[in-house]
């Protein structure tokens, strides 16, 4: 029920979140010289529901799995990349040119996944009109106008928590349909806007907890 209430173009948001996980997993299997993979094996390795994995793959694969043999890994990777638009580059903008924003602006690997950060915005006048990773930093007040003119559909938020909702509201008003949020705060968006949260504090806490429990158990 939860997945049916959050659909994007007939695809559940949960499925969209799982597909990159499958892609990374399959790439690793390919590097290990594996040629085929079954849905039960994928589900077991990724600790996911087998029925859900089958449904997800059925939505993206053109050839389908074969009895006893499973899916050809190379073909499945290709189908997922085509489905997710890895080869149809979408332009994105970044809001917040601080330390994390700078790291993302200088990272060269996004285009492999169909995303190109074309510019950034910041409210700090000292950063405006400078370049980071070859990308020009514009004043925050120009965000809506430029995004609308360039028909930008992806926004990346790397501002502090207190400024994140305002940045989000301006991105939505500018026509952005997908937001990658690094701020440690829940964002309120219309139903048609997809938000992918990256809460690094929670992830680090989980790692710390794991290490604490492991030490208690003598692992």
pTM value is 0.67
DSSP string for residues in 11-29: EEHHHHHHHHHHHHHHHHH
Task: For helices 73-84 and 50-60, give the axis angle rounded to 10 degrees.
Answer: 70
Domain 7-84 belongs to what topology? Arc Repressor Mutant, subunit A (1.10.10)
Task: Give 132's strand partners.
Answer: 135
Angle, CA 158 vertex, CA 22 and CA 136 arms, to 5° = 105
Least confident among 20-24, 82-86, 155-159 = 82-86
Distance between start and end Cα atoms, the chain: 39
3-state class (DSSP) for residue 8 = strand
Token pair listed for 147: 């995004």
Higher-pLDDT residue of 43 and 114 is 43
Q: What pLDDT was estimated at residue 88? A: 61
Q: Where are the domains of the chain?
A: 7-84, 90-202
For residues 181 and 200, the answer to whether their CB atoms sit within 8 Å is no
Residues 48-69: pLDDT tens digits?
A: 999 999 999 988 887 766 766 7
Task: Please check the confidence at residue 206 and state whether its pLDDT lies above 90.
Answer: no
Residues 140-152: pLDDT tens digits?
A: 999 999 999 888 9
| pLDDT confidence bin for 112, thresholds 50/70/90 | confident
Higher-pLDDT residue of 1 and 33 is 33
Binding residues for NAD(+): 96-101
Binding residues: 96-101
Residues 154-183: pLDDT tens digits?
A: 999 999 999 999 999 999 999 999 999 999
Domain 90-202 belongs to what topology? Rossmann fold (3.40.50)
Higher-pLDDT residue of 159 and 203 is 159
Sign of CA dihedral 51, 54, 58, 60: positive
In terms of phi and psi (left: phi > 0; alpha: psi -120 to 50; beta: otherwise), the region of 114 is left
**pLDDT over 90 percentage in the chain:** 57
Q: What pLDDT was estimated at residue 214? A: 79
- Longest Cα–Cα distance of the chain, Å, equals 62
């Amino acid at each position: 029920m939860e997945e049916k209430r959050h659909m994007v173009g007939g695809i559940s948001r949960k499925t969209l979140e799982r597909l990159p996980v499958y892609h990374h997993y399959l790439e690793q299997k390919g590097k290990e010289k594996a040629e085929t993979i079954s849905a039960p094996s994928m589900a077991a390795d990724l600790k996911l529901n087998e029925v859900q994995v089958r449904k997800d793959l059925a939505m993206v694969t053109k050839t389908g799995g074969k009895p006893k043999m499973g899916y050809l890994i190379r073909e499945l990777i290709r189908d997922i990349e085509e489905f997710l638009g890895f080869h149809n580059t979408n332009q994105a903008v970044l809001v917040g040119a601080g330390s994390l924003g700078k790291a993302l602006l200088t990272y060269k690997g996004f285009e492999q996944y169909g995303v190109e950060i074309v510019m950034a915005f910041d409210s700090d006048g000292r950063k405006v009109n400078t370049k980071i990773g070859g990308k020009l930093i514009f004043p925050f007040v120009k965000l809506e106008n430029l995004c609308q003119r360039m028909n930008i559909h992806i926004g990346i938020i790397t501002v502090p928590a207190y400024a994140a909702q305002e940045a989000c509201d301006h991105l939505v008003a500018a026509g952005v349909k997908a937001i990658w949020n690094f701020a440690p705060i829940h964002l309120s968006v219309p139903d048609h806007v997809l938000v992918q949260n990256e809460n690094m504090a929670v992830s680090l806490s989980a790692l710390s907890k794991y290490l604490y429990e492991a030490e208690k158990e003598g692992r």
